[in-house]
Structure formats: structure tokens, C-alpha cells
């Protein structure tokens, strides 16, 4: 397998074969990132396709200061945010100052399969899903999320709280189904 640096240089030169190889090498690793932000498989595929277009157009700006895979992941996340930002304005968002928050117990979800968790996340409203991914999975703070998504910090916090509450209900429903099947 050729090194990323050589592959990047060949892609910059416009070699279609190298671009295909880069896509084949990283698409499977980046698709789960896109899936976390998407409502459906088709949306995730659109996000990934748009991200790869940006990747190929931006390869010359890759400065080798971070790992290439980290740089690629960041482009996918930013592409997903931009993709979802268009949808955010179609749905109302609640500000934390106007929303009562409740401290929730942590849920054990180890018995759930990854695909079940992904399906639950995809059922979240776009704003909640995006904030949840950025905060809980990507590790951004609410201030950074607010800047990225062009919302207030309070809105970021309330969307995260709402996502947690909705996921809690979905997990409890799944637990009920699992427990009723076990007791039969």
C-alpha cells in the first residue's frame, strides 16, 4: 500500500486512479462519521460525496500538521454541519433559558448493537442530532458548537439536553422490548 503522502501528491496532480484509491482507502472509515449526522443512509452518502469533493479540492492546503485521517474527519464533520445547517432553519430550536432541564441518570446501553444506537440517533431532530454529535462524540464545547452552527450557547445546551432526553426515552423503550423478550 502506498503511503498517504505519495497518494496525496498523485491526487493533487489530478490522477483519477489515485483519487479512487484515496476514496477506497478512507470512505468506509468516514461513512460512520457522516451517518451520525445524517437522517438516513442517503443523506450520509450525500454528505460523504460532498466531503470528498471538498477533500480533493483542498488537498493542496493539507499542511501535514495533523494526521491525514484527522484532517479528513474534520472535513466530513464540517460538511455534515453545513448540510444540516440548511435544515436547522426549518425546525424550531429552544433556548436553554426557556427550557427546564432535569438531571438524568446515566443509561447503560452496552446491550444495544451499534446499528440500533445509530438508528436512534438518526431519529433525533437535526439540531439535536448535530449538537449531540459535536458535544458528546466529537468533544466540542457548547461555545464552539454555537459558533460553528451559528446559534447561541444556550441553544446548543438545550439541544444537547433535548437529544439526551429523547435518546433516553428510545433506550428505555428498547430495554422494555428486550426485557419482555427475555422474560418470555
The CATH number assigned to the domain holding 36 equals 1.10.1740.10
Residues 58 and 100 in one domain: no
What is the number of structural domains in the chain? 2
How many Cβ atoms are within 10 Å of 84's Cβ, its own excluded? Answer: 21
Cα separation, 39 vs 175, whole angstroms: 23
Q: What is the pLDDT of residues 153-171, one digit of tens each?
A: 999 999 999 999 999 999 8
CATH (domain of 139): 1.10.10.10
Same domain, 166 and 100: yes
- Whether residues 46 and 106 share a domain: the answer is no
Kindly state whether residues 113 and 76 are assigned to the same domain: no
Do 50 and 102 lie in one domain? The reply is: no
Distances (CA, A) of 172 to 14, 58, 147: 51, 44, 33
- Residues 101, 37, single domain; the answer is no
82 and 19 co-located in one domain: yes
Same domain (yes/no): 58, 126 = no
Domain match, 138 and 176 both:
yes
pLDDT tens for the chain, 184 residues: list them: 568 899 999 999 999 999 999 999 999 999 999 999 998 999 999 999 999 999 999 999 998 888 999 999 999 999 999 888 776 554 444 444 444 444 344 444 556 777 888 889 889 998 999 999 999 988 999 999 999 888 999 999 999 999 999 999 998 888 777 666 655 5
DSSP letter for 138, please. S
Compute the distance between CA of residue 41 and CA of residue 57 in angstroms, rounded to an integer: 24
> Of 58, 88, 118, which marks where a domain is finished?
88
Give the domain extent around 21: 4-88
> Is 105 found in the same domain as 34?
no
Note the pLDDT of residue 89.
Answer: 52
User: What is the predicted pLDDT for the residue at 27?
Assistant: 96
Please, which residues have CB within 8 angstroms of residue 162's CB and are 6 or more apart in sequence?
Answer: 94, 99, 125, 128
pLDDT tens-digit map of 50-71: 999 999 999 999 988 889 999 9
Calculated CA dihedral for residues 4, 7, 12, 17, nearest 10 degrees: -150
Final residue of a structural domain among 70, 88, 106: 88
pLDDT for residue 178: 66
Of the residues 88, 116, 138, the one at which a domain ends: 88
| Dihedrals phi, psi of 172, to nearest 5 degrees | -60, -40
Amino acid at each position: 500500500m502506498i503511503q498517504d503522502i505519495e497518494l496525496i501528491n498523485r491526487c493533487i496532480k489530478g490522477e483519477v486512479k489515485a483519487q479512487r484509491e484515496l476514496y477506497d482507502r478512507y470512505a468506509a472509515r468516514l461513512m460512520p462519521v457522516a451517518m451520525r449526522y445524517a437522517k438516513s443512509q442517503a443523506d450520509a452518502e450525500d454528505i460523504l460525496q460532498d466531503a470528498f469533493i471538498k477533500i480533493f479540492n483542498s488537498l493542496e492546503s493539507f499542511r501535514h500538521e495533523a494526521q491525514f485521517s484527522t484532517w479528513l474527519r474534520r472535513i466530513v464533520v464540517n460538511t455534515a454541519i453545513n448540510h444540516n445547517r440548511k435544515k436547522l432553519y426549518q425546525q424550531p430550536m429552544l433556548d436553554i433559558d426557556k427550557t427546564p432541564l432535569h438531571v438524568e441518570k446515566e443509561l447503560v446501553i452496552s446491550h444495544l448493537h451499534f446499528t440500533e444506537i445509530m438508528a436512534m440517533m438518526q431519529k433525533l431532530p437535526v439540531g439535536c442530532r448535530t449538537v449531540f454529535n459535536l458535544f458528546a462524540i466529537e468533544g466540542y464545547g457548547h461555545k464552539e458548537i454555537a459558533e460553528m452552527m451559528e446559534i447561541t450557547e444556550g441553544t446548543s445546551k438545550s439541544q444537547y439536553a433535548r437529544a439526551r432526553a429523547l435518546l433516553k426515552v428510545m433506550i428505555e423503550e428498547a430495554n422494555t422490548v428486550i426485557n419482555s423478550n427475555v422474560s418470555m
